[in-house]
Amino acid sequence: MTVILSIETSCDETACALLQEGRRLLASVVASQMEIHARYGGVFPEVASRQHVLSIYPVVQQTLQQASLTLQEVDAIAVTRGPGLAGSLVVGVNAAKGISLASGKPLVAVNHLEGHIYSAWLHEAAEQNPAPAPQFPLLALLVSGGHTELNLMHDHLQYQRLGATLDDAAGEAFDKVARLLHLPYPGGPAIEQAAAQGNPAAYPFPRAWLEGSYNFSFSGLKTAVLREVRRQEAANQPLPVQDLAASFQAAVVEVLLTKTLQAARTYGVQNIVIGGGVSANRALRAAFLAQKDYTVHIPPLKYCTDNAAMIASAGFYRFQQGHIAELDFDVLPTWTLSS
C-alpha cells in the first residue's frame, strides 16, 4: 500500500496530508491565513511566505501524529511546484526537499491545478463504501481564483485543454464583484451568502457564449455589474446587494454548466470532474448534480479549496509512473497544466 506525504503552500494555506493508494485519506492538516489577509482585502504575498515558514514544520508533524505514522512508513514526498506565489511555493518546496534528503524518500513535483482535479478521487479512511473513482475518458472543469479551464482526460495525468478563460477566471470575477458590492473577503463565499437571499432573475446580466469554442469570458459580466452598481449609486438608491449577487452568480453558473455539458456531448464522455475553489459554490454544485445525463464528481467542500490531500492524490499517480524529481528543481509560479 503506497503512502504519500504531501505539502501544499502555493498561496496562503500551509497544508500537509498523508494518502494511501491515491484515494484513502489518512490525515490532512491545513493552517489557514484567511484572518491575517482579510485585513488587506486579499492575499499579501510577503506576509503569506513568512507565515508559511512559521507553520510548515508544525503542520507536517501534526499530520504524521494524526495518522500515527513515521517518515519511514512513507513511500514518497509530493509537493506543489506551481503555479502560485513564488515566495510561498519556495517554502513548501524547500521543506519537501529537506524532508526527502533527510529521510531518503523520493520526491514528486506536482502541478497545483492537477491537484484540484484529483481532489475528486479523495475519500476519508473511515468510509466503508467510498464512491467509485472517476472513470476515463472524462471532462475536468477547473474553476478557481486564478484559473478556469476545461480539459479532456483519456487517462491519468493526460490533459487536453478544450478551452480556458480569455480574461477573468470565475473565482477572480467573484472576488471583483464582491468588492463592487462592498462584501468582505473572500469574495466567493460572500457572494454565495448574499445570493441565497436574492432573486437570480432580477437582472438579465450577459452570458458570454463565445460560440464555436469552449473558452470562457467573465469580464463583460463583471463590467455589467459595475454599470448597474454605478447606476444605482448615481440615483442614490440603496444597493440591492442580494439581487445583484444572485443574478451575477446565476450567469456564471449557467455558462459553466452549459459549456461543460456541450463538451461532454461532443466528446462522448460520461464522467465530469469539477475542481477548484469555485466548486465549493452551492449553486454550481446543485446545477451540475441536478442534471441526470452524466456522472458528476465534486469533492467535499473542505477539499475544494487549497489542501495537500489533492496534491498527494496527483502525486501518487505521478509516483506510479516514475515521475521522480531531482533535488535541484525550482518552483514554477506560472506553470500550466499541459506543460
Q: Are 262 and 215 in contact (CB under 8 A)?
A: no
Q: Does domain 3-122+303-320 have CATH number 3.30.420.40?
A: yes
Kindly indicate the confidence band of residue 38, based on its pLDDT and cuts at 50, 70 and 90. Answer: low
Residue 296 above 70 pLDDT? Answer: yes
pLDDT reported for residue 257? 98
pLDDT digits (tens, 9 = 90+) for 106-156: 999 999 999 999 999 999 988 888 999 999 999 999 999 889 999 999 999
- Mean pLDDT of all residues in 224-238: 94
Amino acid at 74: V
pLDDT reported for residue 51? 86
- On the question of a common fold for 3-122+303-320 and 138-298, the answer reads yes
Residue 144 phi, psi dihedral angles, 5° rounding: -140, -175
Contacts of 106 by beta carbon, 8 Å cutoff, 6+ apart: 75, 76, 77, 100, 319, 324
- Choices 3.60.15.10, 3.30.70.1400, 3.30.420.40, 3.80.30.20: CATH for 138-298: 3.30.420.40
- Mean pLDDT of all residues in 16-32: 96
Query: What pTM was estimated for this model as a whole?
Result: 0.95
Domain boundaries, the chain: 3-122+303-320, 138-298
pLDDT digits (tens, 9 = 90+) for 160-187: 999 999 999 999 999 999 999 999 988 9
Q: Are 240 and 202 in contact (CB under 8 A)?
A: yes
